[in-house]
Structure 1
């Protein structure tokens, strides 16, 4: 019922409820936390959301490290964020629906050990300010996406994307640079 209240009152009630339900996470002023947030913080982990962020329906966050999200960043529905070490997302980003951002991959080189028992390779992810990640983009470990970049729908980002770049494809590659108007 609380998740269906609309307008400013509804947003404030949902934010109050999120702060009660997830006391170890920090939600900035006027965050809009929609229904279905799944947030798991391991011991010593932190998740910080700047003011006026929008966390749309069914966002899943698994964090045993540090997650930092800048002010006014918007997440579409059904996104997944996983931070074993560190995921930093800048201000004013648009993260479309069904985006996956992870700072780790499973190790799988040894045939004599089950994959689930081989651990993970971890490297921090940094997404700059004013970045737009299109629908179903996947961002993998160790990637840095520069300020003002745009990543097209369904792209898989496996290496750094420079500031002001437009990148598409699997793996994502830069197809052009954005210019001042």
Structure 2
């Protein structure tokens, strides 16, 4: 995990792959957890024959504090996941996720806002 910016009290599961070329573009906030077999890719590149249509792209990945990324998720370049959000199992996160959100799917979409206000409604 050399180069990845990891906060305090972060759990990283087994077989997690952080971008091997640009790990310095990945930041994980305090008290977050990353499930087994997740992939974080801070860059993309086309093959020699497709680079004109799909140029190399390098952008940071920002994971907020208190975020739970469940097993098997893929997080791609340029994504920010807001504080206290949950990403459902096997999701592909290709766009920003606001704070206090439950997001899942392929591509991941916010399906519910979570937090104190939501807990008060359920009580």
Distance 2:27 2:115 in 1: 25
The alpha-carbon deviation at position 130 of structure 1 amounts to 0.4
TM-score, normalised to structure 1, is 0.58
Residue of structure 1 in register with 2:18 after alignment: 81
State whether residues 155 and 168 of structure 1, in contact with CA within 8 Å, keep that contact through their aligned partners in structure 2: yes
Distance 1:151 1:120 in 2: 27
Structure 1 runs not aligned, ≥5 long: 1-38, 42-46, 48-66
Higher Rg: 1
Residue of structure 2 in register with 1:170 after alignment: 106
RMSD: 1.9
Is 2:35 the partner of 1:96? yes
TM-score, normalised to structure 2, is 0.84
State whether residues 70 and 89 of structure 1, in contact with CA within 8 Å, keep that contact through their aligned partners in structure 2: yes
Runs ≥4 residues deviating over 6 A: none
The aligned length equals 113
Structure 2 runs not aligned, ≥5 long: none
1:58-137 correspondence runs (5 A): 67-82=4-19, 84=22, 86-108=25-47, 113-114=48-49, 120-137=56-73
**Residue deviations 1:86-119 (CA, integer Å, cap 9, x gap):** 11110011100000011111235xxxx3459x87
**Residue deviations 1:37-73 (CA, integer Å, cap 9, x gap):** xx5x6xxxxx2xxxxxxxxxxxxxxxxxxx2000000
1:45-56 correspondence runs (5 A): 47=3
Residue of structure 2 in register with 1:161 after alignment: 97
Distance 1:123 1:107 in 2: 15
Higher normalized contact order (CA 8 Å, seq sep 6+, divided by chain length): 2
The alpha-carbon deviation at position 163 of structure 1 amounts to 0.2
